[in-house]
Amino acid sequence: MSTYSYNEDALRNLKIEDTSILDRLVDFESARAAHLKKERGKIDKRMDLKEAIATFVDDGDVLSDAGFAYVRTSHQAYFEIMRQGKKDLQVIGAPNTNQSYMINYGTVRYSHNSYIGAEMRGTDRNYSRQLKNGKVGILSEWSHGGVALALKAAQLGAPGLFSKQMLGSDIIKYNPYVKVMQNPLRDDPDPVAFIPAIYPDITIIHAHAADKYGNAFIYGPVVNDTALAIATRKLIITAEEIIPESSFRHNGRKGVVIPFFYADAVVELPFGAVPGNMPGYYYWSRQWWEKTMRLASPDEERFIDHFNYWVMESKDQFDFVEKLGGAKWIAEARRQTKSAEGDNEDIDFSYKEYNINDDPGIYY
Amino acid sequence: MKQQGPANLLEMLTYIIAVQIRDHSIVYVGTGLPMVAAILARKTHAPNITLVYESGGQDPIPGDMPWSVGCPLTWRKSPVLMEMAYSFGQSFNGYVDMAFLGFAQIDMYGNVNTHQIGKDLLNPTVRLTGSGGNNDLSSLTENMVLVGLQTPERFPERVDFITSVGHLDGGNSRREAGLPGNGPIAVLSQWGVYDFEPASKRMRVKSLTPGVNFDIAQQSTGFELLRPEGEIPASPMIPDDILNILRSEVDPRGVFTTMPS
């Protein structure tokens, strides 16, 4: 492992004494070594979710959140990580919304924060409580653009990038990795932020379709996922369906393809992004997120009961979909995402906000 | 919920945001009222704006109200759908004219806090979202407009955490920190429109909501507001026909423009 010169102010402000906990994220040599060891051949990498998580997620790994908070994120794979009792993960991502509920179970122990919460569903009172109770430690603070550039640097094969983001802000005082420097090409004072390339240990990307070798097709916002696929040491592709390789060669599809050689495992996982939004396939369950953020989050016991019911007591994504309302929920979620995307403009987009006194039984 | 009667404060604020938007400009919007206002502007005086969203959508065709910046309504039939790094690069390179964002706290120099209430990051009173794209847009965009409700707690002398630099310590300090662009040019609240005095870069009243005077605005602020020369103009009120468009076409269910009960 290489040695690093971290931002001293940030180490002091974050009270980090043993800096070895920070190294993995920026350790290019070990990432490259991991990439060089990956299978090159076109072999069938299919396995079930349980095996993929058991094999490729290790305690203490740096896990990246993928997709965009609740858009095309492999929630059901995260839930399986929780069920398998994995411990002490670090989470990075832009956003990193989904670390929160994993903290309560000890699955996640450390954050590299860029965005916590669920936008209009409210601030994340669970994360706030876990932080104050010492259940989660902050290793670095970032802006979305900072994380995006750090991943982009890795994708482009650069040790880092210079940018104008985060300068002058308090974020830099809580980021051991980002350093403010003078622009080397200019004589007049010109501060720039050096953002190093970052390398998560494990990334799980939920795709619309994949072949058995790991070619993966995505439609809708890609966000940071093409960069993540390249930067990460281990990559699990979960997909709504498995399709033949030939359909990648002769496709008229609109979207992005992640090539097969990055993938370590391919998991057929219909409804893998539930309770999030899978573009073209199903809209996110607004009422589920409302119940989670507004009703469960403020109270530790309610929060645990809620996630025990939805996650720990579900054996797979089909159990979860049944709890949301089964086939009726699927049909409505499909109508809604098609409406949102402009493929079906005639349906009513309205719904009732979640209310405990009027639990609908179907979480639209 | 169907709304009736005179405009509420959120609807007034939405209109004040919307009138800042010039036609034929590229506008970057965050979740909430800015999104409502941009869609209202497009349906009224600024039909030719291009909207940019953080999750990648550019120039979507209008539909129902997006519930988040990742919602399919932010990339509905978009000609292009870009990665996250792209839209921030677009701001830096001068292809975004104006960006609208919210805040939990804003100080006299337009610095924004979306991180926490309380000074200690490791043990805050309340931890909030953190930056998201807030810092990136404030750092890189030519003209920032900041939008939020005004109370003394939300307008403190110094924010608890500088998530996004506005004019930093005033004067030339934003530029000395290495940041491009004009920084914040306006702050919009339910009580008024504020700009920044050109030399000191301190927040100054530009116009006030009808019925609001300087003393009311000052009482809702945790620092000393600057007064413009002469009489303070009244902010424009939302005309009935535009209020009607807002209620019937832009946010018909009042998702963002219903006052919390």
- The pLDDT, as a whole number, for residue B35 is 87
Nearest CA in chain B to A137: B122
Identify the sign of the CA torsion A203, A207, A211, A215: negative
Residue written as token pair 């994995």: A86
Give the residue from A216, A215, A351, A205 showing the smallest Cα distance to A290.
A351
- Among B72, B75, B92, whose Cβ lies nearest the Cβ of A164? B92
- Among B61, B126, B133, whose Cβ lies nearest the Cβ of A145? B133
Express each pLDDT in B12-71 by its tens digit. Answer: 999 999 999 999 999 998 878 888 999 999 999 999 999 999 888 999 988 787 878 888
Partner-chain contact A166 B133, CB within 8 Å: no
- The pLDDT, as a whole number, for residue A351 is 81
Statement: residue B128 has pLDDT above 60:
yes
Output A9-17 pairs: Cβ under 8 A, ≥24 positions apart. A9/A173, A10/A140, A10/A172, A10/A173, A10/A174, A10/A175, A10/A176, A11/A176, A13/A173, A13/A174, A13/B121, A14/A138, A14/A139, A14/A140, A14/A174, A14/A176, A14/B121, A14/B122, A15/B122, A16/A139, A16/A176
Partner-chain contact B122 A146, CB within 8 Å: no
Residues from chain A that touch B32, judged by Cβ atoms under 8 A, are: 120
Q: How far is A235 from chain B (nearest CA, A)?
A: 19
Q: How confident is the model at residue A1 (pLDDT cuts 50, 70, 90)?
A: low
- The pLDDT, as a whole number, for residue A350 is 79
- The pLDDT, as a whole number, for residue A182 is 98
CA distances from B19 to A335, B34, B40, B237, B238 (A): 35, 11, 9, 11, 10
- Among A117, A226, A345, whose Cβ lies nearest the Cβ of B129? A117
Range B84-95 average pLDDT:
96
Helix (H, G, I), strand (E, B) or coil at A288: helix
Residues from chain A that touch B130, judged by Cβ atoms under 8 A, are: 113-116, 141
Q: How far is residue B134's CA from residue B113's CA, in Å, rounded to a whole number?
A: 9
Range B102-106 average pLDDT:
95
Q: Which of A171, A188, A278 would you mutate first to test chain B, the one with the most B CBs within 10 A?
A: A171
- The pLDDT, as a whole number, for residue A251 is 67
Q: How far is residue B30's CA from residue A174's CA, in Å, rounded to a whole number?
A: 24
Cis peptide before B198 (omega within 30 of 0): no
| C-alpha A175 chain-centroid distance | 20
Partner-chain contact B81 A192, CB within 8 Å: no
Q: How far is B73 from chain A (nearest CA, A)?
A: 5
Express each pLDDT in A137-194 by its tens digit. Answer: 999 999 999 999 999 999 999 999 999 999 999 999 999 999 999 999 999 999 999 9
Burial of A223 (0-12, 13-18, 19+ CB in 10 A): buried
Statement: residue B1 has pLDDT above 80:
no
Nearest CA in chain A to B179: A164
With helix as H, strand as E and coil as C, how does B41-106 read? HHHCCCCCCEEECCCCEECCCCCCCCCCCCCHHHCCCCCEECCHHHHHHHHHCCCCCEEEEECCEE
Helix/strand number for chain B, H first, E second: 7, 13
- ipTM > 0.90 for the complex: yes
Q: How far is A127 from chain B (nearest CA, A)?
A: 8
Looking at chain A, which runs of residues are DSSP E strands?
Answer: 62-64, 89-92, 108-113, 137-141, 160-163, 179-182, 191-196, 202-210, 216-218, 234-242, 256-258, 265-268
Residues from chain B that touch A125, judged by Cβ atoms under 8 A, are: 126
Q: How confident is the model at residue A45 (pLDDT cuts 50, 70, 90)?
A: very high
Range A282-297 average pLDDT:
92
- Among A127, A131, A223, whose Cβ lies nearest the Cβ of B56? A223
* Summary mean pLDDT of chain B: 93
- The pLDDT, as a whole number, for residue B189 is 94
Instruction: Find out whether B8 and B30 touch, Cβ atoms under 8 Å.
Output: no
Residues from chain A that touch B129, judged by Cβ atoms under 8 A, are: 115-117, 123-124
Q: How far is A340 from chain B (nearest CA, A)?
A: 5
Q: How many other CB atoms are found less than 10 A from the CB of residue A18?
A: 6
Range A28-55 average pLDDT:
97
Express each pLDDT in A268-281 by its tens digit. Answer: 999 999 999 999 99
Q: How many other CB atoms are found less than 10 A from the CB of residue A14?
A: 22
- The pLDDT, as a whole number, for residue A361 is 84
Nearest CA in chain A to B75: A341
Partner-chain contact B174 A168, CB within 8 Å: yes
Q: How far is residue A230's CA from residue A262's CA, in Å, rounded to a whole number?
A: 7
Annotated catalytic residues of B are 54
- Among B126, B129, B135, whose Cβ lies nearest the Cβ of A169? B135
CA distances from A282 to A148, A331, B48 (A): 26, 8, 31
Range A287-308 average pLDDT:
94
Instruction: Find out whether A269 and A74 touch, Cβ atoms under 8 Å.
Output: yes
Express each pLDDT in A337-360 by its tens digit. Answer: 999 999 887 777 778 888 888 887
Q: How far is B151 from chain A (nearest CA, A)?
A: 19
Give the residue from B21, B13, B55 showing the smallest Cα distance to B38.
B21
Q: Which of B126, B136, B169 would you mutate first to test chain A, the one with the most A CBs within 10 A?
A: B136
- The pLDDT, as a whole number, for residue A63 is 98
* Summary mean pLDDT of chain A: 95
- The pLDDT, as a whole number, for residue B254 is 84
- Among B70, B122, B161, whose Cβ lies nearest the Cβ of A15? B122
Looking at chain B, which runs of residues are DSSP E strands?
Answer: 26-29, 50-52, 57-58, 80-81, 98-102, 105-106, 112-113, 116-117, 126-127, 144-147, 184-188, 192-196, 203-208
Express each pLDDT in A71-120 by its tens digit. Answer: 999 999 999 999 999 999 999 999 999 999 999 999 999 999 999 988 76
Express each pLDDT in A217-260 by its tens digit. Answer: 999 999 999 999 999 999 999 999 999 999 888 766 678 999 99
Statement: residue B116 has pLDDT above 80:
yes
Nearest CA in chain B to A220: B81
- How many CA atoms, within 13 angstroms, populate the side-chain half-sphere of residue B123? 3
Which residues, in sequence order, are bridge partners of residue B246? Answer: none
The tokens describing A56, both together, are 């490729």
pLDDT-above-90 percentage for chain B = 82
Q: Global pTM?
A: 0.96
Q: How confident is the model at residue B258 (pLDDT cuts 50, 70, 90)?
A: confident
Fill in the amino acid letter for B206: K
The tokens describing B175, both together, are 């530029």
The tokens describing A183, both together, are 């622009």
Q: How far is B223 from chain A (nearest CA, A)?
A: 21
